[in-house]
Amino acid sequence: MQKRKLGKSNLEVSAIGLGCMGMSFSYGPPKDKQEMISLIRAAVERGVTFFDTAEVYGPYTNEKLVGEALAPFRSQVVIATKFGWRIDPKAERGLAGLVSRPAHIKEVVEGSLKRLRTDVIDLYYQHRVDPEVPIEDVAGAVKDLIEAGKVKYFGLSEAAAKTIRRAHAVQQVTAVQSEYSLWWRRPEEEVLPTLEELGIGFVPYSPLGKGFLTGKMTEDTRFDSSDFRSQIPRFTPEALKANQTVVDLLNQVANRKRATPAQIALAWLLAQKPWIVPIPGTTKLARLEENIGAAAVDLTASDLREIESAASKLSIHGARYPEVMERITYR
């Protein structure tokens, strides 16, 4: 597996990481714990060194899973987790509002350290920007944790360019994590240019469009009520049918490259910037190996021009989140 550095930092990770959320949270019922431990360890064996989780995934159970799975390999891997939600297991998906007060950050880091079975968190993201707390205070709190040896690097998720700048002025931001793929390209407008200017890495989550860009969904695909895609406008039957044009484009290139649509979608992301590291999630070994294989797919300048030209003519149907979730992004 090739390695990449996140921006100008010394944080080097595998070119493709593993998003672990779906093993415990959001995509239907939690998966079998031992099977997921085996999958995470299979990822390590295949060269993946970058693993993403958050305290709210579960809540808490995903951090415990990741911590147990990676304990034997702790010195070989980079673990990223997140703070910033008020967690109430009785609330929907455990989310009871945003909270990033410095005292809260310094309190919850202890729980994450314990669940992850580690003395230090490699990359600690603010999960969503809290409008009630100045971002300078958040950055200052994480700076204190870095100085205390409990955190190595600071990150932000779904933050706006101006917020990234303000945080970076207090404590170097190593990585920003936001959704980015061929069917959600908003980061290209302001965030990616800002990251390039400041020397910050970018970690696209949902790089396969929450599974849509694998080409395995049709207008007849239905989601269980425990799968949060059942609430997303982009996953209605009408939207799934209309958006098949994106998959058709990926298939066209994949057939020529002897690859899969998912591999082309990931290879496209890798080709955008050398400091971009996507974190596709999966619960299946075959999918894990398919995703890892994307790092070996070489998209030429001609391929990229073809994809860009075709993609520019496509219209994506449906919002990527319910309105209540969309309101707390890009702040």
Q: Which of 240, 239, 236, 282 is nearest to 263 (CA)?
A: 282
CA 14 to CA 214: how far, in whole Å?
Answer: 21
Q: How far apart are CA 124 and CA 120, in angstroms?
A: 10
The closest of 28, 16, 26, 329 to 190, measured between CA atoms, is: 329
- Can you list the pairs that 102-105 forms with residues at least 24 positions away whose Cβ atoms lie under 8 Å? 102/133, 102/137, 102/138, 102/140, 102/141, 102/144, 105/138, 105/141, 105/142, 105/145
Q: Helix H segments across 199-322?
A: 237-242, 244-257, 261-272, 285-293, 301-311
Reduce the secondary structure of 200-224 to three states and give it as a string.
Answer: CEEEEECCCHHHHHHCCCCCCCCCC
How do beta strands 78-83 and 85-87 pair?
A: unpaired
Q: Are 204 and 178 in contact (CB under 8 A)?
A: yes
Distance of CA 49 to the CA centre of its chain: 15
Any bridge partners for residue 299, and if so which? none
Task: Quote the crossing angle between the two packed helices 285-293 and 33-45, to the nearest 10°.
Answer: 30
The tokens describing 152, both together, are 């190595």
Whether the upstream peptide bond of residue 59 has omega within 30° of 0, thus cis, is: yes
Annotated active-site residue 57? The verdict is yes
Catalytic residue among 57, 125, 180, 205: 57
Q: Do the beta carbons of residue 269 and residue 180 sit within 8 Å?
A: yes
Residue 55 neighbours by CB distance under 10 Å: 23
DSSP 52-88: E--TTTTTTHHHHHHHHHHGGGGGG-EEEEEE-EEE-
Active-site positions read 57
